[in-house]
Amino acid sequence: MNSTEITGVYVSRGNAVDCPQIRGDDGQLHSVIGVSSDIAIGDRIRVSGHYAVSTRCRGQALVVEEQQKLQK
């Protein structure tokens, strides 16, 4: 399984329908699952993992296996 890395700003914790999201440096929104609770909205982060279909929120999302909080 190929790993994907995204660097950007954590913009949403999600809700019962939509997954949490990161706005990547590419300007696109990326759905993610598994960002730790110590990451706040507005924090700049780098995550890596693999994509999977989520049963907790709609659509495909990056399942975070590694994360790093970056300086703003």
Q: Please name the amino acid found at residue 42.
A: G
What domains, with CATH codes, occur in the chain? 4-70 (2.40.50.140)
**If pLDDT is split at 50, 70 and 90, which confidence band does 57 have?**
confident
* pLDDT for 1 beyond 70: no
Identify each DSSP E strand in 13-72 by its residue range. 21-24, 29-33, 44-53, 60-70
Q: pTM above the 0.85 mark?
A: yes
The reported pLDDT for the residue numbered 19 is 92
The reported pLDDT for the residue numbered 54 is 82
Distance CA(72)–CA(54), nearest Å, equals 30
pLDDT in tens, 3-40: 999 999 999 998 878 899 999 999 999 999 999 999 99
Q: Are 39 and 10 in contact (CB under 8 A)?
A: yes
Q: Which residues of 5-36 are buried (b: 16+ CB within 10 A; e: fewer)?
A: ebebbbeeebeeeebbbbeeeeeeebbbbebe
